[in-house]
Structure 1
């Protein structure tokens, strides 16, 4: 049985959304574990940016402050358009005792390249922070 154009398009979108959710999970686990090198590998190979508050980092390495506590993202809204995607989700940061220390929102631009999805640009706006 073959799929029609619309079915193929829907299937590709669902597959992309699942891969982006996996990217988020991997990004969060690596951040929480303090694995800077692998965390950076969730970003586009060249030209990626990470904005936290008013500070934009083109050297993602300098923006890393993980390894203590846990980062979790929830409430993902993902829009896929071919090899490009956007995402909005809620970020929750816990300390090592499991207490919420910050909440905020990610606004992401993603790209599919080299056989996977990567962050091209992330903007993190904290609502509350300790």
Structure 2
């Protein structure tokens, strides 16, 4: 078994594709409309689906926003430099909700940004995770 994708429901497909591709640097891997079901799926990621996990963005045509709930946490992305990545996100119009710095009770350097639907994305600075093999 292997992890294939994580699905996020989004209120505006193009706005979400723009964020994940233009702000976070992912590629649009595929996109399909399902008129009978009134939804669109788009898959974005840093690598092809055969090589690693990706995000599935789902837009239900009759829904413009969702309640995120209290169980969802975040998506984590490894970055070379969390502070510089936050600066780039901000320059591209993204929202930084926690500046880069050590996590509470630890030394791992993290930061958080938010996508257009309010989903949190954590940046984890490469080489700062205790016990992680880089």
In the superposition, the TM-score normalised over structure 1's length comes to 0.28
Is the helix fraction higher in 1 or 2?
Answer: 1
Is the strand fraction higher in 1 or 2?
Answer: 1
In the superposition, the TM-score normalised over structure 2's length comes to 0.28
